[in-house]
Amino acid sequence: MSCSDRRAALRALLPGAGVDALLVTDLVNVRYLTGFTGSNAALLVHADGDAASRFCTDGRYRTQAAAEVGDLDTVIDRISAVALARRARRLGVERLGFESDSVTVDAHDALAEAAGVPLHRAPGLVQRLRAVKDAGEVEALRQACAVADAAFAELLAAGGLRPGRSEREAALDLEDRMRRLGAAGPAFDTILAAGAHTAVPHHRPTAAKLRSGDLVKIDFGALVDGYHSDMTRTVVLGRPADWQREMHALVAEAQAAGRAALAPGTDVTAVDAAARDVVERAGRGEEFVHGLGHGVGLQIHEAPALARTGTGTVESGMVVTVEPGVYLPGQGGVRIEDTLVVRDGGPELLTHTTRELLEV
């Protein structure tokens, strides 16, 4: 789907939001709608079409904007959002929507003063479109997942997870391998935890040394063409203890149940419940302390939220993670996570590293 097609889809949502145009200021949404990758921009999407719409960035990006956003009239102004708000009335806008979920109070006041027309909250319109990925987006995510799979395989083959190495050294090694395989960088700060640290869901790597007998939990992803992959695997250094093997088997069972529940039209809370019920039946419900998963794309966390507090249903074309975990404070934890595309005939798996408990 082209960026102009995405803008057309957004225009179809404007009447329901009660606005004549939407001022898009969230840079991720600007990129989705225009392809622009710079650090300062805004976009006015007019209900009357692209001819009445405007893109704005500052002089640093004049050449880049011409290359990336050649199909829209471009305004050059340092204060991009305000510059477009000033043009709204001249472009026939009487009711101007803005992204109230990302605009600060001070920014709102500046926009209201500049616009000269009423501002109306219109949150989440672009995010609603972004939740369902087109073929090009899925391919970018597939490539990002492939890079992460390959980098992890290289790390294991090179003995990158071994006693005596620090969490931080191993994490940096993995990130470097993703870059060498074509990623722009990691999709997020790599979580690599060993021993008791694995009981902390979002532990940051430290100078702590990996030791024989440790569980090692690695949550990581690659950034490719602006799209983020996300995968978690938990391995053991040496022979696993019975409790490690049992915990891993429980999480693997829960993860399989969550994957199986990913059918179009299923409520997000039901997908979460499919995995959570497995953990709760084992008496460990209180040790599963986060939601089951989330959407991924231009951001590492996007709609939908697969959680007890989530809303809506999963749809064909959504790309989501399924990542149950069980955590025993002071002892250790296990999380298994995959990235998948929701499909009518069953989910398509994008992350292919084995989910078996690896002994390294």
CB-based contacts of 206, cutoff 8 Å, min separation 6: 166, 167, 168, 197
221's enclosing H/E stretch is: none
Find the angle CA(93)-CA(57)-CA(19) to the nearest 5 degrees.
Answer: 20
pLDDT confidence of residue 359 = 96
Q: How confident is the model at residue 175 (pLDDT cuts 50, 70, 90)?
A: very high
Question: What proportion of the chain, given as a percentage, has pLDDT over 90?
Answer: 99
SS3 readout for 258-301: HHHCCCCCCEHHHHHHHHHHHHHHCCCHHHCCCCCEEECCCCCC
pTM for the model stands at 0.95
Indicate the pLDDT class of residue 255, thresholds 50, 70 and 90: very high
| Average pLDDT estimate for 191-197 | 98
Within 10 Å of residue 54's Cβ, how many Cβ atoms? 22
How confident is the model over 119-164, as pLDDT tens digits?
Answer: 999 999 999 999 999 999 999 999 999 999 999 999 999 999 999 9
Element (H, E) at 106: helix 105-115
What are the structure tokens assigned to 272, written together? 């979460």
| In 118-183, alpha helices (H) | 125-130, 135-157, 167-180
- 276: nearest Cα among 251, 243, 297, 300: 251
- The pLDDT, as a whole number, for residue 2 is 95
- The whole-number pLDDT of residue 97 equals 98
Phi and psi torsions of 327, nearest 5°: -135, 125
d(CA 33, CA 31): 5
pLDDT recorded at residue 25? 98
Query: Over the stretch 93-107, which tens digit does the pLDDT of each residue have?
Result: 999 999 999 999 999
DSSP strand pairing (119-121 vs 96-98): parallel
Average pLDDT over residues 42-67: 97
- The band of 193, judged by pLDDT with boundaries at 50, 70 and 90, is very high
pLDDT band at residue 270, thresholds of 50, 70 and 90?
very high
Cβ atoms of 64 and 45 within 8 Å: the answer is: no
Average pLDDT over residues 65-83: 96
CA 288 to chain centre: 21
Mean pLDDT, to the nearest integer, of 66-75?
A: 96
User: pLDDT digits over 304-334, tens only?
Assistant: 999 999 999 999 999 999 999 999 999 999 9
Report yes or no: 160 and 190 within 8 Å, Cβ to Cβ.
no
What's the confidence (pLDDT) of residue 306? 98
Arithmetic mean of pLDDT, 344-350: 97
Please provide the size of the chain in residues. Answer: 360
- Is residue 201 within 8 Å of 158, Cβ to Cβ? no
Cis amide bond preceding 347, omega within 30: no
* H, E, C per residue of 123-140: CCHHHHHHCECCHHHHHH
Q: How distant, in Å, are the alpha carbons of 80, 143, 216 from that of 48?
A: 21, 37, 55
For residue 63, the one-letter residue type is T
3-state secondary structure of 218: strand
State residue 184's pLDDT score.
Answer: 98
For residues 218-241, give the mean pLDDT: 98
Q: What domains can you pick out in the chain, each with its CATH number?
A: 3-130 (3.40.350.10), 135-349 (3.90.230.10)
**Across residues 22-46, what is the average pLDDT?**
98
